[in-house]
Amino acid sequence: MAHPHVFSRPPGATMVSFSSSSSKKVVFKCHHRGKRRTRRRERSSSIRRRLVFPDSVCCVSNDGSDDDEWVERACVLADSSAGECAPHPKFACVIVHSKTRDILCEAFQFGQAGEKCERQAERKLREVLSSSSSLAKKETTTETGEYDVYLNMEPVHGIEVSGETRSVDALTRMRSRGVRRIVIGTMHPNEKFRGNAIKELVERGGFKKEQIVVCKTNTRGAMCARKVNEALLYRCATGGYPHGVYKYAMTLDGKIASSSGKSKWVTGPESRETVFHERARSDAVIVGGGTLRTDDPRLTSRNGDGTLTHAYQPARVVLSRSFDVPEDARLWDTSVASTIVMTSASHGKPALAKILRDKGVDVVEFEGEFTMDKVLDEMRQRGWLQTFWECGGTLAAPAITAGAFSRVLAFVAPKIVGGGSKAPTPMGDFGCDAMADAVPLKATDAKVYGRDVLITGYLPNAFAKGRLKRFVEGGWMDGKRDGFVDVGESSDDSERVDTFGENEVLADVEQCCADEAESNDNEKDDNASDEIRFYKSWDTYSALSNFSAHAVDIDGENWLTSESYYQAQKFDDSHPDGVEIKNAILKANSPEKASRIGRLKQRERPDLLKKDWNSIKIHVMDRVLRAKFTQHRSAQSLLLSTGQKRLVEDSPVDNVWGSGRNNDGKNLLGVALMKLRDELRTSIVKDFLVDELERLDDEDLANVEPPK
């Protein structure tokens, strides 16, 4: 299926060249906060940003080697789960024979609760070595090692920041099996994780500095590594805001619909199928109330015949300040995918809000003025990595101004619809008075799908949200801030060339992450908070999340996550339908899928809910947490390392187990974890005292002189 994928040209997609070679001197004319200024600078042949690496890292250009090829393969492999589970940081591991350059084994992590790719690869390597007579089976040191390991991204590591050591432990064990080098496409962009795994492998894993290789910024391997996790890069660089992709389809005369507002269909089936696949790569698909009223869309990832394409379906989000939405719409069928309506609390339609909530729609009501900043803050709190905007120009204008978009997918159909001013365009008015002030897309590209042309590009990072915007405002030159803001191009047509490639756009984003990590290393936090907030299982303090990759064994059954176990216990297993639901949750290959089954069936079949569920649910949670944190020592170590700090599940969508949107939730999960922390600490102290007493007793007996 063709779609604008990062690593390979889709079948049937024709490349169209847009840009010419860049000149050595380029004039950039910039606008920011109403000010325009120019600056001429020499443009080097290599990328101008130089990322900060820890002292334990050997950074290599990969010149004369095939490292790029294998890192790129790891990137393609890491992207394998896209569309099959919720967006998450993507990891993959490829092990290659150092002499023959044959692949011994490879693996990728499926979903946020999937088994670590390094552990999978270690197990496969062990199986290959034990079954092959042509490979050495004896223990081998890294000096004479025969295998190279390729990772697209540095794995997460650190007890006190994530409760995670399994990836590094697996890589360390591989050393004794003949691994001589580890090549990493890019370091982890999260400031709390960045460099931890590499440092551990050198200081305690037995590897030498020169055996850990991180691809240089301007190599193909590094470019692919940034691309496959670009959503994570943007989220880390902006301080938690999702990577926003703005997609629209327009006619050759720039219209997204006819004068009557009808837009089915601007583009052909090939383009629409591409959109379906792109939706599945996002946490949410976003439209405005106008699109909902006019088109009554489904916003799902599906085939041409209407059947769902992927196991995972993103949330559907409707933004409507006035809550002007119909009582009946296809989006209100939440059995297909979850639906969220964001509106103002002053809409004056409580009856409609109740109707939608009864159907399972999450109605988010903002106090005060309805602004795009509040919308983006809600998306940040939900922990979304990528959002897919399919709104009209009226909503797109404030969105681009607020920094909601990072990338644009513009489908252009070879047809003319006319309609004058009554036919809508992709972008409303956002204060651009002159063509020289237009927002210039970077790293532009084009492909042909059927009769349509897809033009893609990135918005300059100065139009981003959060700290990435502040970072770019300072400007960078050879690794130092110089006050230069690169946000636009010269108004001189002779110099209107796209000199910024995709490599440089994403490298700037990664540099922002590296700068933030370095700043935090150099600054002491004397005002540490007395509470720890956690939510996503791939973010900081990940092991505290019920969605974390820690399977639990209870009553002879192995549950993928503690969330899976909790959801299954809701249903009466004395009823055949209850057993069926429980088994469906047990077999779910991701915690989000298990959670969705449990919540959906709880609403659809309340008769199957255990009669005493409300009185036993805290006991059920206590039981699964105790199993999780006693069966996984690294997770237990993280919990104990939190000291006496208050633990808060920072969930804006759960007022019972989490903190809720306004921090007025019960936070029962945080309370349960603090209670378990005290129990574990007491148990450890008790065991220590018992051991000490036994030791002292033995010593006393040994010192007793026998009677004469």
DSSP secondary structure letters along 571-592? B-TTSHHHHHHHHHHHH-SSHH
CA distance 188 to 235: 12
Same domain, 541 and 573: yes
On average, the pLDDT of the chain sits at: 84
Same domain, 258 and 226: no
pLDDT of residue 140: 47
Amino acid at 583: N
Same domain, 390 and 304: yes
Its domain, for residue 212, covers 58-230
Nearest by Cα to 455 from 79, 15, 83: 15
pTM for this predicted structure: 0.85
pLDDT of residue 261: 80
Residue 265: asked if its preceding bond is cis (omega within 30°), the reply is yes
511 touches 475 (CB < 8 A): no
Q: Is the pLDDT of residue 203 over 90?
A: yes
Start-to-end CA span in the chain (Å):
93
Same domain, 260 and 213: no
pLDDT of residue 658: 95
Domain boundary among 196, 230, 264: 230
Nearest by Cα to 404 from 389, 414, 391: 389
Same domain, 274 and 140: no
**High-pLDDT (> 70) share of the chain, %:** 81
254-277 pLDDT, tens digit each? 999 888 887 888 999 999 989 998
C-alpha angle 204-205-207 in degrees, rounded to nearest 5: 110
Q: Is the pLDDT of residue 466 over 90?
A: no
pLDDT of residue 687: 75
Same domain, 330 and 448: yes
> Residue 31: left if φ>0, alpha if ψ -120 to 50, beta else—which one?
beta
CATH code, 634: 1.10.357.40
**More confident position, 523 or 247:** 247
Give how many domains the chain has, as a whole number.
3
> What pairing do the DSSP bridges indicate for beta strands 362-366 and 339-344?
parallel
Same domain, 368 and 219: no
**High-pLDDT (> 90) share of the chain, %:** 60
420 touches 404 (CB < 8 A): no
DSSP for 140-189? B-GGG--EEEEEEEPPP-BHHHHSB-HHHHHHHHHHTBTEEEEEEEE---
CA distance 413 to 411: 7
Nearest by Cα to 295 from 281, 321, 322, 316: 316
Mean pLDDT, residues 452-474: 88
Give the DSSP H/E element, type plus range, for residue 233.
helix 230-238
Same domain, 226 and 245: no
User: For residue 647, is it within any domain?
Assistant: yes
